[in-house]
A and B are shown apart, each in its own frame.
Chain A
Amino acid sequence: MSAQLKMKIAFKLFASLTDYLPADRKGNRLELEVDEGTTVADLIRRYNVPEKSAHLVLVNGVFIPPSERIRHRLQAGDELAIWPPIAGG
């Protein structure tokens, strides 16, 4: 088995989802080294974010629909940001 290649990405959880980040977090952002090919859904699962709470999912500011999270592979340097259901105005 060949060694899995790694890449760096940023993982951000906002509003009430912040609680799913490790306790020693600083702010809302974690820098992670993940396996190449890691999908959005992989990280949502890894941090135990309930699926229905991962409401607004952006990669580099672009919306990822729920149906694409399982196949959207992250690229090195990507910024993944997730919010629960929210609104403003």
Chain B
Amino acid sequence: MGWNRKVLRVDLTAGTCKEEPLNMQWAQDYLGSRGLATKYLVSEIDPKVDPLSADNKMIMATGPLTGTMASTGGRYTVVTKGPLTGAIACSNSGGFFGAEMKFAGWDMIIFEGKSPKPVYLFVENDKAELRDAGHLWGKSCWDTEETIKHELQDPLVRVSSIGVAGENQVLFACVVNDLHRAAGRSGVGAVMGSKNLKAVALRGTKGVSGIKDFRAFMKATTDAKKVLADNAVTGQGLPTYGTQVLMNVINEMGALPTRNHRDVQFEDAGKISAEAMAEKRPSDGKSQLVTNAACFGCTIACGRISEIDKGHFTVKNSPKYWGASGGLEYEAAWALGAANGVGDLEALQYANMICNEQGMDPISFGATVGAVMELYDMGVITKDILGIEAPFGSAEALAKMVEMTAMGEGFGKEIGQGSKRLCTKFGHPELSMSVKGQEFPAYDSRGIQGMGLTYATSNRGACHLRSYTVASEVLGIPVKTDPLTTEGKPELVKAFQDATAVFDSAGICVFTSFAWTLADVQPQLDAACEGEWTMDKLNEVGERIWNMERMFNNAAGFTAKDDNLPPRLTTEPAKVGPAKGLVNGLATMLPEYYRIRGWTPEGEPTTETTARLGL
């Protein structure tokens, strides 16, 4: 079956927890996790609901492969209407929390309403109850997890929680599990905070049962693991250097957004790269990188565990940050570093730790700091307003701003609104490097053209995890395409978008797709899940999920005008590198994208498209 067939519905207003059967027809149509939880959400909420009101709902969901022997089968998803964007929000996390939900016998947990006081949900197999969290309110994610484990006297409880940022409804607050993993983007943590829900603690001892054909499943998962192990990227590249190895690659290509996208190359990229993390520091003779790490069931192990330099100005008086902790991934290192012109690797690790500790998305936080530094450089935001000096490149300013934002102090409250609201407030909306209110990740779309279309059409605002055409345009996976042309990119983006929706909905990590295609996932799903899971069906499910998300956004008030990029990327050419003289060719790509999607020129799925997909 793959699914447990059980949904836990938690009414936070009434304080009740009820079991209900999973809609198995929807499971056939939307698979699980991202797809299935989104189907529940869009069926239950008004698309125009205020994301931070009691009428919004938040769903934590597993996929049919979550908790199984499938490699990377530990993912879970947080789905809600996002407060940063007003669009569908769907953030996906690894670690061990997702598998634990499956082991406790549940496929998903739907949270509705708003608790009158801080609570946390405790689930132990079939038993589910809301508990007082008054003593946890004001605590970090790290302290919350430790306190819950201590009071339950069970170190194996898995916890997802919000930190102070989520409590304060920072619009890019995330939900952190297992200390260093996060459902990171779109402000899902702010929704959790708005509901007075501090944490979810799970303990499951049932394992996974009901695999449709366990012999076929063992074979399919074993075969697929061999593909990952034999592939040079997933077998060697990612475990050794992690995602951070991209820093020098993307810089070399002239596609590393620098100083709020003013520049496309960062002179200190080498100092904040994977190679720098592995090099011994002169100060203490140790490298920042301690080891790699894996999430539940993962045979890639791309995660970074790092130790900051104890003598660095950010932590020399704070021993609690001296131990090994979650290390820099590429997107975080870019946003905290190149986006602000900061080339101090230790300062980036400090800011990254604060983001993990208090539950903030380092991409949106770092990119918003980039906008603040540009406004400071222009004299629009002054030291009097900010409380500190904040020129591009200031590690001191970065460190101070991460503390202020995490704890909701001073100007940190403005940063916590994200770059779109902040730049609009200070009269320069064009300086927010975002789409639909969500900040860009680490690829400049002047140098990687397909990413411009990816960002403009992403259903959750600017994001690389909805269609990672970097794989093709930079890395040659599955085939190499020219990053500097728009030709063929609409087809490429659509193919990546639909396939990624399936990977996400299965409960596995999208990083498997560096080695796997859907043809490697299909036998695993077909052996695990009831029904026939053919390639045709998977392709259709992916396309259906994409269109469902789009239709929710359209109903929420988004139009084709929102499939856009900031003017900097479409009018200010790259100054150096291979893309010198180029802007992003979105206007060329978008009409063709709508056409192959089966959408009208206004970006609405046609009746033929909705009928074909059963929407």
Residue numbers of A with Cβ under 8 A of B are 12, 14-16, 18, 27-28, 52, 55-56, 58, 60-63, 65, 79, 81, 83-89
Contact = CB atoms under 8 A, between A and B. Distances in A.
Interface residues on B, range: 35 or more
Nearest to A18: B275
B311 to A, nearest CB: 23
**Majority secondary structure, B binding face:** helix
A86 B578 contact: no
A89 B252 contact: no
A39 B578 CA distance: 20
Contacts of A15: 237, 240-241, 245, 274-275
Interface string B484-514: 0000000000000000000000000011001
Interface string B179-213: 00000000000000000000000000000000000
Given A87-B238, A89-B331, 18 more contacts: A12-B252, A14-B245, A14-B248, A16-B240, A16-B241, A27-B275, A56-B249, A60-B578, A63-B482, A81-B252, A83-B249, A85-B237, A86-B233, A87-B237, A87-B246, A88-B242, A89-B246, A89-B510
Sorted nearest first, the 8 A-B pairs with minimum C-beta distance are A85-B232, A88-B246, A88-B243, A86-B237, A61-B578, A61-B253, A88-B330, A86-B245
Given A86-B475, A88-B244, A89-B511, A61 B233 contact: no
B412 interface: no
B246 A61 contact: no
Contacts of B232: 52, 55, 84-85
Contact of A89 (B240, B275, B464, B480): B464
Contact of B245 (A58, A62, A88): A88
Interface string B449-483: 00000000000000011001011001111001011
15 contacts: A14-B245, A15-B245, A27-B270, A28-B270, A56-B475, A61-B578, A63-B482, A79-B252, A86-B245, A87-B234, A87-B475, A87-B477, A88-B330, A89-B243, A89-B246
Contact of A87 (B233, B254, B270, B578): B233
A58 B237 contact: no
Contacts of A79: 252
A81 B250 CA distance: 12
A61 B444 CA distance: 14
Contacts of B238: 86-87
Contacts of A56: 249, 474-476
A83 to B, nearest CB: 6
Contacts of B514: 87
Contacts of A81: 248, 252
B276 to A, nearest CB: 9
B601 interface: no
Given A15-B274, A56-B475, A61-B577, A86 B468 contact: no
Nearest to A65: B480
Nearest to B265: A61
Interface of B: 231-234, 236-238, 240-246, 248-249, 252-254, 270, 274-275, 330-331, 464-465, 468, 470-471, 474-477, 480, 482-483, 510-511, 514, 577-578
A64 to B, nearest CB: 11
A14 B274 CA distance: 9
A59 to B, nearest CB: 10
B245 to A, nearest CB: 5
B185 to A, nearest CB: 13
A27 to B, nearest CB: 6
A85 B236 contact: yes
Contact of B470 (A18, A65, A89): A89
A84 B237 contact: yes
A84 B236 contact: yes
Of residues A14, A83, A88, which shows the largest number of chain B Cβ atoms within 10 Å of its Cβ? A88
Contacts of A28: 248, 270, 275
B248 to A, nearest CB: 5
Contacts of B475: 56, 86-87
B96 to A, nearest CB: 21
